Chain A
């Protein structure tokens, strides 16, 4: 292209040829993008205003009835609450632990790699399998968690009210208890995800220039905390924006653990009835496509909104 004179007819046809090839090369991707990603979004949008179900030939337009239902029934209120609790707990905790682990590991040289490897294991492991392992760990009578807690009985640790009550009566049922279920799910979410955040932060930390620390020290930032506040945290700004966004999107999609623990109904008293599970239960299992689509649409709005915020922050090149 660069070597050719722009006005000779031969070149024009070569450029036409290139244009044509370019379209041939992009056509499969373009077609699949439209068919697999865009068309379903439109379909979900349309179906959310109908009472369609699979197997029926016809359907009725029901207006915003499905959305009305989402915002008025207590089941869906529980759905929003469970999703909200999960996202609002898992995102800050897993980002915080990821950052904490990264800072500790970063400060200790080669030996820290062992911890890095260990903390990354849950990211690689099949979550469903690990959920089942956790279910055994949390088994009320033979699970490792309650057995470990029982060991504290009769020791000084009994001054902690939780252990005292547990020893006197019994330890929690965990998955069977509506007060604990959602927190157990959150805990497993953090357990699984913080290693991922840690690795991203470790990558971010390698990009922080040594000189910045020296400069900060000269300016009087003596304590570790001051150095963190003045140098590390601002330098990690872009990483944090990304880590928070991706953690949010992942947290919204929690499903495996909940389906593994409670195949029906979304946990004790629907306390873990998150959106993904609701879409699965309503739309797929109960064939209530209209309501399932309405949840899908809300879900997409949440996720897209988050990603757009992230892109906006990145474009502004936030350095807090």
Chain B
């Protein structure tokens, strides 16, 4: 029992270090700038009403506003009216820090657009990867043709090349055909997943030939067999591969950073967060951490819900 105790002690210590930045990220996304600066307020902060200075500044009354408001304050001088208007603005611009941080995250930058881009890019990458890899994997596993060994050796060779490593020549090629700063640039280099082909081929090798022969007897063509017979049998493997692919590309920063410059409409979530950080003036820690939380949350939640599947998917590359 005492031995188990020190085991727990070590593991808990590790867990604290692992969780610390997550804790801080979420905690800062709740707190007011003052609380962040002074390091108070525990995890949730005190959630006292705070005034959004920018909002007040935007509503700073000019001469016309004062004139327009004059009927509402009949007996007062202009400067009194002005003060009253400022007080109204301050009252209207009050909000809880948590509301402030998260509303700023979505309004200061088009965060929704970034998230949508992330979904579009990851989904297209995965779908194209499957459309390209599945038929090839089927042919390599189940069809006999001259050159099959050569093609498979090529697959094995290409497994050696990490796409990030050849980013520069890929970038030059895309620039030459004028595709930088497009969705295509974000997707194209990932359309071929050699690893996907390899994985699916290994999986298809285990599918009995009888199943395919039966389908042929029924008069199915090879294309139909790929999509109507092989695809359904491969669902578990595909799911694992989907998790592998989506996690990798939702989180990818290097490639988007290279091919998307300036055009914010194409920013993926990590690029958006990076731009937010670049724009920030230091007092924007809360909203920035809110943005980070929003970007990290979908995958973390999905992971917590379907842990076993996620671990299976992410460690896919470790299976032989």
Contacts and interface: CB of A to CB of B under 8 A. Distances in A.
B273 A132 contact: yes
A303 interface: yes
Given A22-B145, A124-B299, A279-B168, A300 B161 contact: yes
Given A130-B296, A199-B314, A33 B192 contact: yes
Contacts of A129: 25, 270, 273, 292, 295-296
Nearest to B216: A1
A30 B132 CA distance: 9
A71 interface: no
Interface stretch (A157-165, A167-175, A225-233, A291-299): A291-299
Interface string B166-178: 1111111101000
Contacts of B296: 125-126, 129-130
Interface in A253-297: 253, 255-256, 259-260, 263, 276, 279-280, 283-284, 289, 292-293, 296
Contacts of B236: none
Nearest to B137: A29
B17 interface: yes
A196 B303 CA distance: 14
Contact of B253 (A43, A101, A259): A259
A38 B154 CA distance: 10
B78 interface: no
Given A33-B154, A119-B15, A300-B165, A25 B226 contact: yes
Interface in B120-149: 131-133, 135-136, 138-140, 143-148
Interface in B16-50: 17-22, 24-25, 28, 36-37, 39
A256 B254 contact: yes
A125 B22 contact: yes
B315 A36 contact: no
A31 to B, nearest CB: 9
B317 A22 contact: no
B11 A101 contact: yes
A18 interface: yes
B258 A144 contact: no
A133 B289 contact: yes
B300 interface: yes
Interface of B is mostly: helix
Interface residues of B, number: 96
Contacts of B170: 36, 40
A26 B166 contact: no
Nearest to A30: B151
Contact of B197 (A29, A124, A276): A29
Contact of B143 (A21, A43, A44, A307): A21
B257 interface: yes
Interface string A30-54: 1011001111110110010000001
Q: Give the most central of B28, B136, B172, B277: most A CB within 10 Å.
A: B172
A121 B25 CA distance: 14
Contacts of A199: 311, 314-315
Contacts of A105: 11
A256 B285 contact: no
A200 B299 CA distance: 20
Interface string A111-147: 0100101111111111111101110110000101001
Category for how many chain A residues contact B:
35 or more
Interface string B220-241: 0111001000000000000000
B173 A40 contact: yes
B36 to A, nearest CB: 7
A122 B277 CA distance: 21
Contacts of B295: 126, 129
A120 B15 CA distance: 10
Q: Give the most central of B11, B131, B168, B172: most A CB within 10 Å.
A: B168
A122 B155 contact: no
Contacts of B160: 303-304, 307-308
Contacts of B166: 37, 40-41, 44, 296, 300
A263 B172 contact: no
6 contacts: A22-B144, A25-B136, A37-B192, A124-B314, A130-B296, A132-B273
Interface of B: 4, 7-8, 10-11, 14-15, 17-22, 24-25, 28, 36-37, 39, 131-133, 135-136, 138-140, 143-148, 151, 154-155, 158-173, 175, 188-189, 191-192, 194, 197, 209, 213, 221-223, 226, 247, 250-251, 253-254, 257-258, 269-270, 273-274, 277-278, 285, 288-289, 292, 295-296, 299-300, 303-304, 307, 310-311, 314-315, 317-318, 320
